[in-house]
Chain A
Amino acid sequence: EAQVTQNPRYLITVTGKKLTVTCSQNMNHEYMSWYRQDPGLGLRQIYYSMNVEVTDKGDVPEGYKVSRKEKRNFPLILESPSPNQTSLYFCASSTSGRSEQYFGPGTRLTVT
């Protein structure tokens, strides 16, 4: 089954404790993105990647890192999480810039 998977689905952590949210797709897509969803703000793009080793900042990259060492994986790293990063995070992938994005199920992160 073609899908985008994220782990973990739920995470509660404390300020400053480094964490990684994994994202994997099995559709051989070149493009992958990370978004955060906050009430009243919709989805905002954090980072995106056009291919292996090619990443770029989205609209809200501060406090986040990403890497793309393999085509299928695009982890999101929070080196020192803060409470304002409490949010619902979505990973997405697509074949090209013209095509629709396929979304993962989301990761709900709470930073206390």
Chain B
Amino acid sequence: AQSVTQLGSHVSVSEGALVLLRCNYSSSVPPYLFWYVQYPNQGLQLLLKYTSAATLVKGINGFEAEFKKSETSFHLTKPSAHMSDAAEYFCAVRMAGTASKLTFGTGTRLQVTL
């Protein structure tokens, strides 16, 4: 069965510092991978997705993620954190050929401090 692991349920960074949120998946074939963001009291919004095209994927709000097959990872990064980035971030995986079967990680809450 597919699974997603997000290391670190809480991550705190200073404003202007690098943001790194980790995501590893388990799969024998390359899946489709997604990062979603959830702001307080809101639904989930897509940040970016990997669907077997370029391994470096750029998303909204300056975020990007790199698919590394050898490490089965899809870590999310942003060079410089902003206060508005404070939210919960979810990595999700969908296996190729499994329509609508989206498996989410447990989420990482990002705190940005002054």
Chain A residues close to B by CB (< 8 Å)? 4, 31, 33, 35, 40-45, 48-50, 58-59, 90, 92, 94, 96-98, 100-106
A46 to chain B, nearest CB (A): 12
CA distance A62 to B98 in the complex (A): 21
CA distance A94 to B90 in the complex (A): 18
CA distance A105 to B40 in the complex (A): 11
**20 A-B interface contacts by CB (under 8 A):** A31-B100, A40-B9, A40-B106, A42-B90, A42-B106, A42-B107, A44-B104, A45-B102, A48-B101, A50-B100, A97-B94, A97-B97, A97-B100, A98-B94, A100-B34, A100-B46, A100-B49, A103-B43, A103-B44, A106-B43
B108 to chain A, nearest CB (A): 10
Interface of A is mostly: strand
A31 touches B99 (CB 8 A): yes
Chain B residues close to A by CB (< 8 Å)? 9, 32, 34, 36, 42-46, 49, 51, 90, 92, 94, 97-107
The total of Cβ contacts below 8 Å across the A-B interface reads 57
CA distance A112 to B67 in the complex (A): 44
- Measured between beta carbons, the chain A residues less than 8 angstroms from B9 are 40
CA distance A43 to B43 in the complex (A): 11
In the complex formed, the residue of B with least CB distance to A31 is B100
Do A42 and B32 contact each other (CB < 8 Å), given the known contacts A97-B97, A97-B98, A105-B42?
Answer: no
A43 touches B104 (CB 8 A): yes
B43 touches A90 (CB 8 A): yes
**Partner among B44, B49, B99, B106 whose Cβ is within 8 Å of the Cβ of A97:** B99
A43 touches B49 (CB 8 A): no
